[in-house]
Amino acid sequence: MNPERHLAVKVCLGSSCYLRGGREVLEALCAYISENKLGMSVKLSGTLCEGRCSSGPAISIGTQLYTGVKPEDAVEALKKHLQEIS
């Protein structure tokens, strides 16, 4: 991956997604990024609402939106996207 580019990953932390496990999803992604030294390749951030409150937690990776995400699902989705761009 070009070191000047990064993959944007957003985790919804609005109240509904947060209560459905958004915090755990964020923690899993943070741990994976840290363990694999991906801080220069992945820009992880939280959002207040992705508009999918009834099917959260929601994350977006690049332009792809995922809903009903569990921590392990989020990590697998990130791995998939990283493979596609490398």
Q: How many domains does the chain have?
A: 1
Tell me the CATH number at 62: 3.40.30.10
Residues near 47 by Cβ (< 8 Å), separated by ≥ 6?
A: 10, 11, 12, 13, 14
State the pLDDT confidence band at 4, using cuts at 50, 70 and 90. Answer: low
**Does some domain include residue 42?**
yes
pLDDT at 1: 47
Average pLDDT estimate for 58-86: 95
| Residue 31 belongs to domain spanning | 7-85
* 2 in any annotated domain: no
pLDDT digit string, tens, across residues 24-69: 999 999 999 999 999 999 999 999 988 889 999 999 999 999 999 9
- For residue 29, is it within any domain? yes
